[in-house]
Amino acid sequence: MPFHSDTMAFHSLSSPDDPLAVAFQQAREAEYLAWRRAMPTGSQQERDFTELAATITRSTGIRSGVIASNLYALLTLDKLPQLKTLIEEHFHVDMSRLRTIDHQLTGICVELLEDPGFWEAVDERLSSLLSPTRANQLMPTSATITRALKELIRVLTPPEEEAPQHPSAQEETEHPEGEPGNTEPAPEPELPVMNRYHSTPQPDGSVLFEIRVDQVTATKIEEAVRARAKEQGIPYHQAFVEIFLMDVSVKVNLNLYQARDLPGSPGFLQPYGPLDPKDAEALAAAAQRIRDADAAAEKESPAYQTPPDIRAAVEGRDWLCRWPGCIRPASRCQMDHRINHADGGPTTAANLLALCDHHHARKTDEQVHYLLDPYTGDVYWLFQDGTWAIDRAEGPLAPKQRHWVQTLAQRQDRRRERARLREEEKAEQERTQRLKQKRERPLPSQYEDEEPPF
């Protein structure tokens, strides 16, 4: 059933007063129930998947890859009871978003996969994210879901030195050549995917370069290329080549968003989102200036151009272009004055919104209008046909995100406490086992080498 308007909180795609929304609501429900029907049950769970997929393809015409993705998505949803109940009550989450959730939860470390507390945290986070809190609220995009899960995973993932290896990986480390006691040097290990570099000649005679680096390095490279391109008025690829070959010096400014009053809180970096704790700590330690985001959010400038500190506050609140469904990073957007500067609109966060060039032009042409709540960062979009929708701010400085950072930090503390208790319990079990072995060990006798005295 859809969210009803009398509840005062519903997603715009669940509006009972919108005929198109109702039609797609019914389509989502039908698709979800159809895939539930395709899920193997009972003895079917033992069937070979290739055969199972073939029978589903016969009935649906859908290829096996899509079948596998959708069935895996439902299996993951079954591990999230709160979210499953929410979806089966309102049918507001489509299969594409469910596949996004499954994809983000695939390939994480073994310790998280086996930790019930982690799945509880995921269930709680997604249920909160996908529950509306305003009337006609825009549905979170797959990009928003991805970012939320990455935040959670990166905060709760144990440090590398604490993360347990897969048993097969441990065996390969102990015996690199496959035989116990082998003294031959192990083959040089492959570099992690993050540190890969590769060049591939193309059929047209050009060469494709591929490199994977950590988020901080990637952000520095991205900002340097964009700064050089803007300064010289040249394409991005040319700017990249000039920086690399001509030893050009480019000044790069990075904004790291991190709560100073919450130890261990996640750090956020445009445009990639949450950082690994080590990267966040290293970047924070290297910072040459620390700005008070709250003070910047209240600051007002007489200039039309937005000063860097106010812009950083707006980017941290909005994170993306605020046009419905747009995912362009706020750092690549213009600062739009809701009340035009020429009409007396101040240059302050409460009157500024991140809009990409394309959507800024739509607003400037007055094809749409919007209202901006200065306290929550919510945007009320007003369309020409008389309809409206609410877009909630998703950046780390948005009020609801600040609350989540607090709960996330609290959950991290609880997880660390559980880990400490497990270690203490393990140590106590080992101590008890040693004492038991000591008691069972036969005592040496001073007569064991002599004849009995009788």
pLDDT of residue 350: 96
Paired tokens of 388: 């409206």
Give helix 19-38 / helix 64-77 axis angle, nearest 10°.
90
pLDDT of residue 214: 81
Instruction: Count CB atoms within 10 A of the CB of residue 82.
Output: 16
Q: pLDDT per position in the chain (454 positions), as tens?
A: 555 444 589 999 999 999 999 999 999 999 999 999 999 887 777 778 888 899 999 999 999 999 999 999 999 999 999 999 999 999 999 999 999 999 999 878 888 888 888 999 999 999 999 999 999 999 999 989 998 898 888 878 876 544 444 443 343 333 333 333 333 444 433 444 456 788 887 777 778 888 888 878 888 888 889 888 988 999 998 998 888 888 777 676 778 887 766 666 677 887 777 776 677 777 777 777 778 888 898 999 999 999 999 999 999 999 999 999 898 999 889 999 999 999 999 999 999 999 999 999 988 888 889 999 998 999 999 998 899 999 999 888 888 776 666 565 566 566 666 666 767 777 777 777 777 776 666 655 554 555 555 5
Contacts by residues 336-343 (CB-CB < 8 Å, ≥ 24 positions apart): 336/360, 336/363, 337/304, 338/370, 338/371, 338/372, 341/304
The verdict on whether omega for the bond into residue 271 sits within 30 degrees of 0, i.e. cis, is yes
**Tens-place pLDDT, residues 164-216:** 444 433 433 333 333 333 334 444 334 444 567 888 877 777 788 888 888 78
Residues in the chain: 454
Where does the chain hold its CATH 1.10.30 domain(s)? 292-391
Distance CA 35, CA 78 (A): 13
Q: What is the DSSP string of 353-375?
A: EEE-HHHHHHHHTTSSEEEE-TT
DSSP state of 41: -
For residue 352, give the 3-state DSSP assignment.
strand
Evaluated on CA atoms 267, 273, 274, 276, the torsion sign reads: negative
Specify whether the CB–CB gap between 264 and 409 falls below 8 A: yes
pLDDT of residue 16: 92
CATH fold, domain 292-391, is DNA Binding (I), subunit A (1.10.30)
Specify whether the CB–CB gap between 377 and 317 falls below 8 A: yes
Instruction: Identify any residues that bridge with 209 across adjacent strands, giving them in sequence order.
Output: 199
Distance CA 276, CA 215 (A): 9
pLDDT of residue 264: 60
pLDDT of residue 184: 41
The reported pTM is 0.69
For residue 315, give the nearest of 283, 357, 273 by alpha carbon: 273
Distance CA 259, CA 397 (A): 9
Compute, in degrees rounded to 10, the torsion defined by CA atoms 194, 200, 204, 205. Answer: 120
pLDDT of residue 404: 61
Distance CA 333, CA 315 (A): 9
Beta-strand ranges (E) seen in 245-332 are 256-257, 268-269, 273-274, 300-301
111-to-160, 162, 305 alpha-carbon distances in Å? 11, 10, 49
Distance CA 12, CA 388 (A): 9
